Structure 1
Amino acid sequence: MSAMRNFTEDQIMFRDAYRKFLASEIAPHMEDWREAGIVDRSAFKKAGDLGFLMIWPDEKYGGMGDTDFRYEQIIIEETARAGCKQFYNTLHSRLVGPYFQRFGTEEQRQRFLPKCVSGETILAIAMTEPGAGSDLAGMRTSAEDKGDHFLLNGSKTYISNGINADVVIVAAKLAGADKKHAMVLLIVERGMEGFERGRNLKKMGMPAQDTAELFFKDVKVPKANVLGEPGKGFYYLMEGLAEERLISAVGCAANARKAFDITREYVMQRQLFGQPLSDQQNTQFRMAEMDTEIELAQVYIDHCVTEHNQGRLTSNMGAKAKMVASEVEWKMLDLGVQLHGGAGFMDEYPISRMFSDARINRILAGSSEVMRLIIGRDVFSQKYQSLFD
C-alpha cells in the first residue's frame, strides 16, 4: 500500500521504525495516561531522542532538514493506527513549531527550536477564547505596546498541551489599533510572571490529551518574544490554516481506516442466527460503502499532500479534505458502534473509545459548518473554475 501511495524507500523505513517506537514506548502507557488525564512529558523526550518529534527543522537546529509533509503524514497515520492519537505530537511538531520557521527571527529559531526538536520544550498555541473560536475577530485578549515589552492581558480556553506546554504562542489583539484584525503573536514562556494555568478540563473524549485554560494578567512579554510584525498576527494564523486542516484530514482518514479494520474483524467473529455477522447482506453492503468512501477520501488527501509539498495547497482544498475526512470518520465510527451492538457501548471495546474521542474532529480546526461556508464561498466566487473548463 505504501508503494502505491508514492512513499519513498526511506519513508517506508521511517514508517516501520516509528511503528516500532509507538509499540514499545507509547502504546503500553496510554491507559495510564488516560487515567492521569495527561501524557507524561517523557514521551516527548523519547520521541525527540529518536528523531520522531520534529522532522522539518534544519540540521543546525537538530532536525532532519526534510520538509516533505509525507513524513508527518506517516507519523499521524501510524499514531492513529496504534491507538495513540492522544499523544498528539503533531500539535507540537507541525501545528506550532513551524511558526518559528515562518515568522521567527534567526535568534528565536536558535533559542527555541533545538529544545523543541529534542522534546525538552513542549509547545502549544493559544487562540480560542470563551467567546472567540472560529471567529478570531471576536478575540478579547489584548497586548499593549510598552516600548521594550508588550503587556499581555486576557484568557484562553480549550488549549491543547495547556498543562504540559513550556512555550505558548499567544494570539492577542493589538491594543489601540483601529483594525479589528490587528493582532500580535507573542511567545509566552513557562514561569513568566502573571502567566497562570487553570484546570485540566474534563472532556467527552481524548482524556489523556491535556486541555487547559490559560490566564494572562499584566504579563510582560519582551520584544525579543514577538513573532513577526505586530499587527499581522491574524494573517499569520490564516496562513497556517490550510495545513492545519490537512493535518486533521490525515488523522481522520487514518482513524476511519482503523475503525473499519476493528469492525471488520469483529463482525467476522460475531455470530448471529448461527452464522457470522459478516455474512449478513446489510453488514456487507454497509461495510462495502465505508471501504469505498474511506479509500476515496484517502486518495484526495494524498493528492492534497502532494499539492502541499509543491506549495499549491489552497484554503479551499484544505477545507474540502477536512470536511470529507471528518464526516467519513464519524460515519464509520457510528457504523462500527452499531455493528458491535451492545459491546460497542462498552468502554472496554476500542470502538467505544474511538467514537467518543473522535467527536471533536468535526469541530476542531474549523467546524464542518465553517468548512462548508469556505467551500461555498469559493463555489460562488468569480475565481471558481469547473474541472471541465
Structure 2
Amino acid sequence: MQPLELFAVDGLLSDEEHEIAATVRRFVDDALKPNVADWFENATLPRELAKEFGALGVLGMHLDGYGCAGTNAVCYGLACLELEAGDSGFRSFVSVQGSLAMFSIHRYGSEEQKQEWLPRLASGEAIGCFGLTEPDFGSNPGGMRTYARRDGNDWVLHGTKMWITNGSLADVATIWARTDDGVRGFLVPTGTPGFTATTISRKLSLRASVTAELVLDGVRVPASAQLPGARGLSAPLSCLNEARFGIVFGALGAARDCLETALDYATTRVQFDRPIGGFQLTQQKLADLTLELGKGYLLALHLGRLKDAGALRPEQVSVGKLNNVREAIAIARECRTILGGSGITLDYPVLRHANNLESVLTYEGTSEMHTLVIGQALTGLPAFRG
C-alpha cells in the first residue's frame, strides 16, 4: 500500500484533476527522473526543458487565455506536487514562470504586454524571471533600493536583485523598483544594455535550478514597459502569494517521493535475516511519516478548494506553506535514516530532496515570517513591524 492510499484521497479529486496529475507524473518519471541526479550533481538545468514544460501545458496553466490552459487551482497544485516529486528545481522553474513572471503580466500588464509575452512564455519559447528580492532585503521587500526615474518618455532603472530563479536563463524580467510615486513593476528584456545576470554558483541546494544575481546599471526602457495595473508593494506580494500556493502542494511531492523510496527500501533491505521494514522502530517511522504526509495533503487540497471558490486568504496560504514545508523536510530527513548510508548518495533521491527543501523553507517567505503572519492573524498584533 502506498502512503496516501490510507487517506483514500483519490475519491476527493475530479476526473480532470486525476488526469492532469497522472500526466505530469508520467512526464516526470519518464523524462526528468532518469536525468535529475546528473543535473543536480552538475548544477545545471537544460534550457530546452522550458519548451517541454510548455508542451506539457504546465506553464501558467492556472491562467486564462493567451495560450494558457485555464485549469483550476487544484489542478495547478497537483501538477506542482508531481513536478517536485522529481525535484524542487522543476517546480521552482514552473512556479517562477507561471505564478510570478506570467501572473504579474496577466494581472497587471497592458493588453499589448500580454499579447507580446504570455503566449511565448506559456509555450516555453521565452523564459521569464521575477526580480523583487535584493541582497539586503529579503523578508522586508519594502526596503528595496532599486529605483526607477523618469527621463523624458523613458524609465531608467538602477539596482541589484538577488536569488532570482531563472535569472540567467530569462528573456524577460519583471523588475520591481521604487519610483517617486511608489513601487512599480517593469518588464525588462534581458538583452537591454545595462542589464546583467550572473549565475550563483557553489550552491548546496536547488542545484538543478538556475539562480542568479541581477544588476541594473542605467537600464533604459520605454514608458510602455511599466506594468500599468501594478501600484504599490501589494502587487508583487500578490504574485508571491500565487507562488506560495504552489509550494503548499509542491513540498508534498518531495515528501511523497522520499517516503515511497524509504518504504520500498525498508521492504527489500535485509538485516538480521529479515527486511528492516519488519522491525518496530522502522514501522513507527513509516507510520508517523505517513500521517504527516496525509495531513499535509488534505490541508493542501482544502486550501485549493478555497482558492477555487475565491475564499482563500493570504494567512491561510501561510498556514499551508509553513506546515507542509516544515513537515516535508522532516519527512525527508527521517527517510534518510531508514536508508542508512545509502541515503547520502545520489543513487537515491532522499538527501537531494532534503537539501532542496532547505531552500524551499526559506524562499517565498521564510518559516519565521509565515509564523509571524499567522501570529498576527491570531492576535491582531504585527510582531515584525514597528
Identify the residue that residue 345 of structure 1 maps to in structure 2.
344
Q: How far apart are 1:259 and its partner, in Å?
A: 1.1
Partner SS state of residue 165, structure 1: coil
Identity of aligned residues (%): 27
**Residue of 12, 22, 29 corresponding to 1:5:** 12
Q: Does 1:152 align with 2:157?
A: yes
Q: How far apart are 1:246 and its partner, in Å?
A: 1.8
Partner SS state of residue 155, structure 2: strand
Give distance in 1, aligned partners of 2:95 and 2:372. Answer: 26
Q: Does 1:187 align with 2:183?
A: no
Q: Does 1:118 align with 2:117?
A: no
**Residue of 80, 85, 88 corresponding to 1:85:** 88
Identify the residue that residue 71 of structure 1 maps to in structure 2.
75
Partner amino acid for 1:290?
L
Identify the residue that residue 4 of structure 2 maps to in structure 1.
none
TM-aligned CA distance change 1:256 to 1:27, over 3 Å: closer
Partner amino acid for 2:80?
I
1:313-349 per-residue CA deviation (whole Å, 9 max, x = no partner) reads: 1111011100100110111111111222222223332
Structure scoring higher RCO (CA < 8 A, sep ≥ 6) equals 2
More displaced, 94-103 or 25-34? 25-34
Match runs of 1:224-243 below 5 Å: 224-229=224-229, 232-243=231-242
TM-aligned CA distance change 1:126 to 1:94, over 3 Å: same
Partner SS state of residue 221, structure 1: strand
Identify the residue that residue 222 of structure 1 maps to in structure 2.
222
Give distance in 2, aligned partners of 1:328 and 1:48. Answer: 31
State the TM-score, normalized to the length of structure 2. Answer: 0.91
CA RMSD of aligned residues (A): 1.9
Unaligned runs of 5+ in 2: 1-7, 382-386
1:75-98 per-residue CA deviation (whole Å, 9 max, x = no partner) reads: 1122123x2432232321223211
Give distance in 1, aligned partners of 2:58 and 2:142. Answer: 36
Q: How far apart are 1:35 and its partner, in Å?
A: 4.6
Identify the residue that residue 140 of structure 2 maps to in structure 1.
135
Q: Does 1:51 align with 2:57?
A: yes
TM-aligned CA distance change 1:2 to 1:222, over 3 Å: farther
Q: How far apart are 1:352 and its partner, in Å?
A: 2.0
Unaligned runs of 5+ in 1: 383-389
Verify the 8 A CA contact 2:58 2:94 in the aligned structure 1: no
Identify the residue that residue 176 of structure 2 maps to in structure 1.
171
1:201-235 per-residue CA deviation (whole Å, 9 max, x = no partner) reads: 321122120001111000012111111356x2411
1:90-127 per-residue CA deviation (whole Å, 9 max, x = no partner) reads: 32122321111111111111111111111111011011
Verify the 8 A CA contact 1:242 1:314 in the aligned structure 2: no
Q: How far apart are 1:32 and its partner, in Å?
A: 4.3
Count of residues in Structure 1 that have an aligned counterpart in Structure 2: 372
State the TM-score, normalized to the length of structure 1. Answer: 0.90
Q: How far apart are 1:237 and its partner, in Å?
A: 1.5
Give distance in 1, aligned partners of 2:30 and 2:341. Answer: 32
TM-aligned CA distance change 1:215 to 1:22, over 3 Å: same
